[in-house]
């Protein structure tokens, strides 16, 4: 199994040193600044998308990018994500959200997501369907811009 990071792992010298020191170069791969088609291909081959962020949450973009090609996600349990998932059951929130300050919670959720991949994907279907399509978003912009 590989860890594909879509952020610039070489920008952080501590992270680069850690990867090199622990001989993880063949396991941790950087896919930074790749075209959207390539990102979609990576997502379609992934077993799980992990969004470990402290501020933007990956909603809805990274979640939707992954789900649209059949890959479920786990996300940081931060205010912006909680706001978007507050109507979900407590069980579903517990399954897909992790404490970004707790490595044990992250590991537990990653392992659960890998072992229950299909179940997590099914659980997230209504959430994914609640977001507008790009066509709907574009139409709203056009409607706003063409108002006379």
Supply the CATH number for residue 39's domain.
Answer: 3.40.50.2000
Q: What is the predicted pLDDT for the residue at 131?
A: 84
Q: Answer whether residue 23 is part of any domain.
A: no
Q: What is the predicted pLDDT for the residue at 58?
A: 62
Q: Answer whether residue 17 is part of any domain.
A: no
Q: Answer whether residue 99 is part of any domain.
A: yes
Q: Answer whether residue 71 is part of any domain.
A: yes
Per the structure, the count of domains in the chain is 1
Q: Quote the CA–CA distance of 9 and 23 in Å, as a whole number.
A: 15
Taking only the tens place, the pLDDT of each residue in 83-141 is 889 999 999 999 999 999 999 999 999 999 999 999 999 999 999 998 888 898 899 89
Listed residue (83, 95, 141, 86) closest to 121, CA to CA? 95
For range 29-58, the mean pLDDT: 90
- First and final C-alpha spacing in the chain: 55
Q: What is the predicted pLDDT for the residue at 142?
A: 93
Percent of the chain with pLDDT over 70: 98
């Amino acid at each position: 199994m590989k860890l594909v990071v879509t952020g610039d792992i070489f920008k952080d010298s501590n992270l680069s040193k850690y990867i090199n020191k622990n001989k993880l170069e063949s396991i941790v791969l950087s896919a930074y600044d790749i075209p959207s088609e390539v990102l979609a291909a990576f997502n379609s081959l992934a077993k799980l998308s992990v969004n470990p962020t402290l501020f933007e949450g990956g909603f809805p973009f990274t979640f939707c990018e992954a789900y649209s090609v059949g890959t479920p996600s786990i996300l940081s349990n931060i205010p912006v994500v909680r706001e978007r998932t507050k109507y979900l059951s407590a069980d579903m929130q517990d399954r897909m959200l992790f404490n970004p300050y707790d490595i044990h919670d992250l590991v537990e959720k990653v392992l659960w997501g890998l072992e229950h991949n299909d179940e997590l994907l099914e659980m997230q279907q209504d959430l994914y369907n609640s977001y507008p399509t790009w066509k709907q978003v574009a139409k709203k912009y056009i409607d706003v811009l063409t108002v006379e």
